[in-house]
Amino acid sequence: MTRQAVRVGLVVLVVGLVVGGSVGAVIGASMVIPGPALQAPGGDDPGSVAEDRGNATRYERLYERTIDSVVMITVGNAMGGAQGSGFVYDRNHVVTNQHVVEDADEVGVQCADGSHRTATVVGVDAYTDLAVVRVPNMPPAATPLPVDTVPPQPGEPVVALGSPFGLDGTITHGIVSGVNRSMTVEGGFTIPDTVQTDAPINPGNSGGPLVSTDGTVVGVNRAKGGDNVGFAISAAVVESVVPALIEDGEYEHAYLGIRSLPVTPQIASVNDLEHAYGVMVVETDSSGPSESVFQVAETTTVDGVSYPTGGDVIVEVEDREIRTSQQLSRYLLLHTHPGQTVSVTVIRDGERTTVEVTLDRRPPV
């Protein structure tokens, strides 16, 4: 069909389909409606046509540049099998999700050229849902994908690469919808610093890369949260965790040992706080590093609603401002390690004070 104007001077037929065990069609009266010209996408405007083609070419080139470095992962275990995706991190290793290879007896890798390899799991981390497998004799075209060192920006175009529903070599595209999200996963904990995207992420995409238009990995696809809402583990987390998985087979997470709540306007009001930000300590692990360090909140009922009151409100760690629970979790993951003593600034009984905590190692899942 040529890109030309099509004038509306057509007979319009109203067609209704009725579905209820049988299908019928109802055809209404016809009428002629004069109107302005309608153009196919791009119309006759050469600039629009060139822009459409330019966008298509950009994604085509991105696909050609990256797809050889994306693999399908198949796993067989005592409970059956699973399938996911991964990407080449270095010449010997592929990054994927921990939940893809969890308790695997065998790991199969299908490369973009259709060849197969048997891979060995060398490290997993449940707290970030990252895993690394060692793949022998990768095809020459399967070169490592660079991992971004700069966080993506909301609105930035991205593509998700992988094998949704076992459809290898699939590309979907969208934008970065948000950053520094906390993604709740099985087990009741959250993964901080995740990237939100509207690029379709479906079962089988898990472990594949979320890639910017320059071909760098900005995240590892993890889950679909709803229509047009997907999440990927950020490049910053990948670069913190994956080298340790390759070297040691595990990643040691710092552990503060508290349960906390974000300070909402309601909590701030009940506690006579000047600002509604920070993280209130509501409980400490009795065997953890923060026991007896922080003042723990009590529960107060106001107009039939229970609120935490009197607890320390964390507002800084090592002079880094903490306004939300996400910021606290992200800082602990990316900037601290077990055995490190950190200074924590809190609002206690209306006064600003600083305490010190020696972080422990986070217990296994």
Active site residue 253: no
Sequence-ordered alpha helix ranges (H) in 231-350: 235-248, 265-270, 325-335
From 206, 212, 234, 329, the catalytic residue: 206
Burial class (CB in 10 A: 0-12, 13-18, 19+), 186: exposed
| Alpha carbon distance 158, 148 (integer Å) | 13
Element (H, E) at 205: none
Q: Which residue is associated with the tokens 């107009």?
A: 303
**Residue 173 known to be catalytic:** no
Is the Cβ–Cβ distance between 192 and 329 less than 8 Å?
Answer: yes
d(CA 290, CA 285): 7
Angle at which helices 325-335 and 235-248 cross, to 10°: 40
Q: Which residue in 125, 129, 312, 360 is the catalytic one?
A: 129
State the DSSP code for 147. Answer: B
Q: Is 337 a catalytic residue?
A: no
The one catalytic residue in 69, 85, 99, 148 is 99
Residues involved in catalysis: 99, 129, 206
